[in-house]
Amino acid sequence: MDFIDELNRTHREVTTGARKNMLLRRHYDADIEDVWQACTEAERLARWFLPVTGDLRLGGTYQLQGNAGGEILRCEPPHVLRVSWLFGENPGFSEVEVRLSAKDGGTLFELHHTAEVPQEMWTRYGPGSVGVGWDLSLLGLALYLSGGAKVDEETFHETVEGRRFITGSGRAWGAAQQAAGDPPDHVAAGVAATIAFYAPDPSS
């Protein structure tokens, strides 16, 4: 699998304001039921994303290992899943909604992440601070659906292809941020900070 080709398959949009919204949209060559189950069944989620525990039903709660947790707010198989996405102390408002639709013999996948982001964090990193993580997740789903092996999360950023993917993701989110109207100098600084966070220079 060409990881950069996979990266370029995703369309990204950023909406700024009191709440920031990030949209990722791409097509998977898999049946909608298969994609839905991969995104909602605990055993399958662990294969490409993270182990999850909780009461996995509408109105129930979930917890991803070492990551976000929250409440399952909407569940309409196989089309819509919306959850609160809370991490750390005083996380504020944060929700993730996944929408699936059958298209062109496969599945159109859309992920919306809407959150109240501290201004200092947005100024320093921009959308890439979260967006790179989502790009890595969508790559993981692509690999899983195509029968490929999951990348090693501990070392991927140290590989040539991993650094290229992370760099490309950071720049793509910068382009989406600039298209939303943020100043180019702020965008450039945020892109550099994001890439340095996810793939620090091994020589420094």
Backbone angles phi, psi at 108, to 5 degrees: -85, 120
Q: What is the pTM of this model?
A: 0.96
pLDDT value for 90: 78
Please give the Cα distance from 75 to 59 (Å, whole number): 9
- How is the chain split among helix, strand and coil, in percent rounded to 5? 40, 25, 30
Q: How high is the pLDDT of residue 91?
A: 79
- Tell how strand 80-84 and strand 69-76 pair up: antiparallel
Q: Is 155 helix (H, G, I), strand (E, B) or coil?
A: coil
How far apart (Å, rounded) are the C-alpha atoms in residues 187 and 178?
6
Nearest-angstrom CA–CA distance, 6 and 22 = 18
List pLDDT tens digits, range 126-178: 999 999 999 999 999 999 999 998 999 899 999 999 999 999 999 999 999 99
Tell me the torsion sign for CA atoms 134, 136, 138, 140: negative
What is the reported pLDDT for 20? 96
| Per-residue pLDDT reduced to its tens digit, 57-116 | 999 999 999 999 999 999 999 999 999 999 987 778 999 999 999 999 999 999 999 999
DSSP structural state of residue 86: B
pLDDT above 70: residue 204: no
Cα-flanking dihedrals φ and ψ of residue 74, to 5°?
A: -150, 135
Tallying the residues shown for the chain, one arrives at 204
Interval 171-194 mean pLDDT: 97
Give the model's pLDDT for residue 147.
96
3-state secondary structure of 76: strand
Cβ atoms 19, 114 nearer than 8 A? yes
| φ, ψ (nearest 5 deg) of residue 69 | -145, 175
